[in-house]
Structure 1
Amino acid sequence: MYCPGYTCVLCHQAHMETRDHLFFQCQFARSCWRYIYPGFTPGDNVHVNIDAIKQKLKVPFHMEITTLVTWSIWRTRNDFIFNGITPSLYRCRRTFKEELNLVFHGAKRKKYEGLQAWIENFR
């Protein structure tokens, strides 16, 4: 497979597209995280970031939220690379909301108590 480069396509800067950059350090990723966690400032690595998000959200479904935000960033990136769709925060947020609703509708209600109220905050 031909790769035109290894720089981040979301922030348009000459940053190597590493896991930490793509999901947490990139300006686009930071904007996506600030939607969920307004005070988000990325740490040194993925583990520090996930722990900070867990501490800030204080909900039992924090890992699902973390996974869905990173999935939304990944889909936005791939839509640009493979389909030529311009990345936008709006698109990333919409993907997050859609995926979060799918998790909620497929979840066992006892495990995700409070998830519906949390989702309502993003409508």
Structure 2
Amino acid sequence: MGDMVLLWKNVWINERPLMDSDEHLFSFANNEDIPLAQYYNNNDHVDNFMLPLSMEARTELENLQEIMEGINLEAMGTDEWILCWGDSDFKPKKFYNFMFRNILAPQCITSVWKTKCIMGHKVFAWLMLHDRVNTRDLLLRCHLNIGENHNCPMCNMEVLETNAHIFYECPFAAKCWEVVGIDWDNHPDIQLKYERARARWQGPLFKEITILTSWNIWKQRNREIFDGEEATHAEWLRKLKEDFVILGYRINPQNLTFLEGFSNSLSL
């Protein structure tokens, strides 16, 4: 009957609401929440729209009139809601997959959740790869008052502390990556950056080692800022090896043999 369906905001024709497909006409609507039945029974332009209409809106109105002439609300019976993905059961996962069906996330980000790291490290890696850890650059973008010093606390380069700088470009970080043997390039695309580094890596556990290396770079940065203690590569390496021990309980024996030998080979 159309009394429970909104003309503009619900999906009742095609695959998109009219507010998206007929956005020019929607901008002239007097009542954005008008039910379909109410508009169907009174399609007077003076009552429904702010006149005069633009040329684009006029064309969309003609299309809407054709749609109205082609339906018979009384014959449709009681309004019935169905799920857009054609299922009778609502599940958050299916809703999420439907809403983001056209978005392809970089594999280097989605693979974080499949690593053998503990959940805290996974969450940190997800935030880092999305540029959402609280660097001074991010805090400034959030309009927070963080004082006058916005430079990287880990080096003397006097540059803004950004995600890319603190984890890849800073001399402190560069030394850490040199120790673990991971070679990054300066490509701005994070997926290509990780693919190229992975291609140059010899051995398993690439993602786990990059996550833990980055995590301990971040911990040294926070140690410098919040504890007032100088960030050192010796302390970074000691903490990294401790995290390798934890990781060792979560991987298969073959990778454990590699990890133990890799950890023992690291030195400054």
TM-score w.r.t. the length of structure 2 is: 0.41
Question: Percent of pairs identical after alignment?
Answer: 23
Q: Give me the whole-angstrom Cα distance separating, in 1, the residues matched to 2:210 and 2:196.
A: 11
Q: Give me the whole-angstrom Cα distance separating, in 2, the residues matched to 1:6 and 1:47.
A: 28
* Higher fraction of helix: 1
Query: Residue 44 in 1 paired to residue 187 in 2?
Result: yes
Equivalent residue in structure 1 for 2:250, among 107, 110, 114? 107
Report the counterpart of residue 233 of structure 2 in structure 1. 89
Amino acid at match of 1:115: L
- The answer (yes or no) to whether the contact 1:53–1:62 under 8 Å persists in 2 is no
| Gapped regions of structure 1 (runs ≥ 5) | none
Amino acid at match of 2:176: C
Alignment of 1:1-123 (within 5 A): 3-4=146-147, 5-37=149-181, 40=183, 42-45=185-188, 46-104=190-248, 106-110=249-253, 112-113=255-256, 114-122=258-266
Return closer, same or farther for 1:27/1:103 CA change in 2, 3 Å cut-off: same
Higher alpha-carbon Rg: 2
Q: Give me the whole-angstrom Cα distance separating, in 2, the residues matched to 1:37 and 1:116.
A: 15
| Aligned CA-pair RMSD | 2.2
Q: Give me the whole-angstrom Cα distance separating, in 2, the residues matched to 1:82 and 1:2.
A: 17
Amino acid at match of 1:108: I
Return closer, same or farther for 1:108/1:89 CA change in 2, 3 Å cut-off: closer
Q: Give me the whole-angstrom Cα distance separating, in 2, the residues matched to 1:52 and 1:118.
A: 21
Report the counterpart of residue 125 of structure 2 in structure 1. none
CA shift digits 1:35-82 (9 cap, x unpaired): 0117x3542334444334322323231000000110010000000100
Q: Give me the whole-angstrom Cα distance separating, in 2, the residues matched to 1:25 and 1:59.
A: 24
Name which of structure 1's ranges 3-12 and 110-119 shifts more when overlaid on structure 2: 110-119
TM-score w.r.t. the length of structure 1 is: 0.83
Name which of structure 1's ranges 23-32 and 108-117 shifts more when overlaid on structure 2: 108-117
Q: Give me the whole-angstrom Cα distance separating, in 2, the residues matched to 1:108 and 1:37.
A: 21
- The answer (yes or no) to whether the contact 1:37–1:53 under 8 Å persists in 2 is no
Amino acid at match of 1:86: E
